[in-house]
Amino acid sequence: LMIYLTLFLAHQIVRPLNRFVEYTRRIARGDFSPIQPAKRYKDEFSRLAIAINWMLDQLQKNQELYIQSRKMAAIGTLTSGIAHELNNPLNNICITTESLLDELEDLPENEKKKRLQDIYAQAERASGTVRNLLDFTRVDQPSFVHVSVHELLSSALRLTKHEMELSNVELKYLPAESGLLVQGDFGQLQQVFLNLIINAIQAMPRGGVLSISVGKEDPDQVRIDIADTGVGIPQAVISDIFDPFFTTKEKGTGLGLSISYSIIRKHGGKILVNSQINHGSTFSVYLAKSSGKRRPE
Ligand code: ADP
């Protein structure tokens, strides 16, 4: 009878415990729906269930508050960024036009031409900002073709070779196999790798090593790591770097990473970042591997 009683009691305790283990897994997956006490009468487990439900309620409220405050912060950065990016060239246009009008009679022809060129350059700069913004929000699908990963990386490296030399950056790149393909828009993907490589170079103002590696352990996707040995990203801002107009650079636009993020998302991939202050950062781009056969329409 004692053995039976012990087994019965152990069963009564272990079964609800297992249920609670399952609940914790569900909560960890982000499902905050309340848990139901299994028995109608009250015991320690139903009190625990009530306490967990209260905790879930608080967690959900805090998460909503957090998401809302992140959205507000992103809108704030976006608005002040647009205002700043457009205000600067517009101000310059106003000042130059004003001076041109004031001194129109007295200025020599070449000075008039120079000021008009300044106005044109500033207008171009403003329209570049608007173009970037449109690129960022554009919903149209990229035109997918089979893109060779090696071609993509080597073309981005060719375009940044000069900056690398100027900044004393050593490149370590083991060329990806020529047959390694992804489905994508060559121009847009090239823009992503250009942004990542330029950011990496700029993170190493006193030189360093830029390592580019291509991982293909996964049969379905390619992982491209762009790693630098630069200044690193402070933990406090790492969640902001993909926000439009977030920049820590004096002449930065803060658009490179947000545009890259949206391009990679449109390609069904993802970008992850790992960084250690004063040791460097690694940006990992994941893209679906292409078999080289045409995709069914
Ligand atoms: P920008 O380069 O114009 O500032 P980005 O959107 O490309 O805009 O980058 C946003 C910010 O992210 C940068 O200002 C910088 O603070 C940070 N960042 C991006 N890449 C790196 C990197 N490789 N190392 C350190 N910080 C980086």
Ordered DSSP codes for 245-266: T---STT--S-HHHHHHHHHHH
Distance 142 CA to ligand 1 centre (A): 24
Q: What is the CA radius of gyration of the chain?
A: 28
The residue whose CA is least distant from atom 13 of ligand 1 is: 247
253 Cβ closer than 6 Å to some ligand 1 atom: yes
246 Cβ closer than 6 Å to some ligand 1 atom: yes
How far is it, in rounded angstroms, from Cα 52 to Cα 22?
13
User: Which residues, in sequence order, are CB contacts of 251 under 8 Å at separation 6+?
Assistant: none
How far is it, in rounded angstroms, from Cα 90 to Cα 125?
9
Determine the Cα angle at 120 with ends 117 and 124, to 5°: 140
pTM: 0.67
Contact assessment for residue 176 and residue 153, using Cβ atoms and an 8 Å cutoff: yes
pLDDT by 10-residue block (mean), the chain, 297 residues: 88 86 86 77 80 89 81 75 84 92 91 93 87 66 83 91 90 89 88 93 95 88 96 94 89 85 90 96 94 50
271 Cβ closer than 6 Å to some ligand 1 atom: no
**Per-residue pLDDT, 136:** 63
Residue whose CB lies within 8 A of the most ligand 1 atoms, among 78, 257, 258, for a mutation test: 257
Distance 136 CA to ligand 1 centre (A): 17
262 Cβ closer than 6 Å to some ligand 1 atom: no
Distance 173 CA to ligand 1 centre (A): 22
**Per-residue pLDDT, 140:** 56
**Per-residue pLDDT, 187:** 83
Looking at ligand 1, which atom is closest to the CA of residue 247?
Answer: 14
Strand partners, 271: 285
Query: What pLDDT digit, counting tens, does each position of 60-73 carry?
Result: 888 888 877 777 77
Looking at ligand 1, which atom is closest to the CA of residue 231?
Answer: 25
Looking at ligand 1, which atom is closest to the CA of residue 232?
Answer: 25
How far is it, in rounded angstroms, from Cα 223 to Cα 215?
5
The residue whose CA is least distant from atom 23 of ligand 1 is: 200
Selection from 282, 256, 260 nearest residue 269 by Cα: 260
